[in-house]
Amino acid sequence: ENDIISGLPLRNKKVLITAGPTYEAIDPVRFIGNHSSGKMGFELAKEAAILGANVILISGPSNENVKNSLIKRIDVVSAEEMYNAVHEHYTTCDIAISSAAVADFKPSEVFTDKLKKKDVELSIKLMPTKDILASLGKVKKNQFLVGFALETSNELENAKGKLKRKNLDLIVLNSLQDKGAGFKKETNKVTLIDTSLNCLEFQTKSKTAVAKDIFNEILKKYNA
């Protein structure tokens, strides 16, 4: 084994990370998406690699790039594709972090032809996607499972609810109230909540620094 990697805290560990948005097809040329850049997930992948882990980064459409021999990137488009890719790697991973902004709904039917322009209202029927993270919580064995919560109100309460409901070991509350935080931004403001519902609030900082804070906390709890 490489001498440099052998002294690192996550050497020989497999870390699974989801990142970015998902796109849900309406017709061959249109989709429902969201503003996630994938930046937070890519920063988490880089930090995991710095700590010596073998990283599986499963990303929806993103302009982010990463070049690191410890990071294997798998590109997906829809929530269903992400679900399948995640489950292929979950059973063998040690730590899983769900930072993707997975679509909650997808069109109930995908039109095979491009929808034509008309001068009347158009309704598109939507159905729920599978909750990837909740499905991981259900089949969790020894994995340390980390989720995100994106909230605009009742932040702490909602995040704690997600932690319990999805059987997580840690949840990262993403505060959208802060002007410097969230989608398309270089910075984030997070609060980490553990299974005892202890809250650790951080200042607004770069997503690189946020990724380090998150892994500091994971290492403390994972080795405990």
Q: What residue numbers does the annotated binding site for CTP cover? A: 104, 114, 148, 162, 166
Q: Which of 64, 104, 194, 217 binds ligand CTP (CB under 6 A)?
A: 104
Radius of gyration of the chain (CA): 18
- CA-to-CA dists, residue 172 to 112, 187, 215, angstroms: 39, 14, 11
Question: Any catalytic annotation for residue 223?
Answer: no
Residues that contact ligand CTP, how many (by CB under 6 A): 14
H/E run at residue 165: helix 155-165
Q: DSSP string covering 94-117, please?
A: SEEEE--B--SEEESS--SSPPPP
Q: Does 79 bind ligand CTP (CB under 6 A)?
A: yes
Count of other CB atoms within 10 angstroms of residue 189: 21
Q: Which two tokens stand for residue 76?
A: 């997906």
CA distance 161 to 157: 6
- Asked if residues 72 and 63 have their Cβ atoms less than 8 Å apart, the reply is no
Q: Which of 14, 46, 106, 162 binds ligand CTP (CB under 6 A)?
A: 162
Q: Does 98 bind ligand CTP (CB under 6 A)?
A: yes
Which among 36-44, 59-67, 94-102, 207-215 is the span making contact with ligand CTP, rule CB under 6 A?
94-102
Residue located via tokens 């790697």:
89
Residue located via tokens 């997503």:
207
- Active-site entry in 34, 68, 158, 167: 34
Residues that contact Ca ion, how many (by CB under 5 A): 1
Q: Which C-beta is closer to ligand CTP: that of 150 or that of 210? A: 150
Residue located via tokens 């990137």:
73
C-beta of 149: minimal distance to ligand CTP in Å? 4
98 binds, among ligand CTP, Ca ion, none (CB under 5 to 8 A by kind): ligand CTP
145 binds, among Ca ion, ligand CTP, none (CB under 5 to 8 A by kind): none
C-beta of 153: minimal distance to ligand CTP in Å? 10
Residues of this chain, 75-104, that bind Ca ion according to CB under 5 A: 104
Which residues, other chains included, contact 2 with Cβ-Cβ below 8 Å and sequence gap of 6+?
A: none
Residue located via tokens 């996630």:
36
Catalytic residues: 34
Q: Which residues bind Ca ion (CB under 5 A)?
A: 104
Q: Which residues bind ligand CTP (CB under 6 A)?
A: 79, 98, 100, 102, 104, 129, 131-133, 147-150, 162
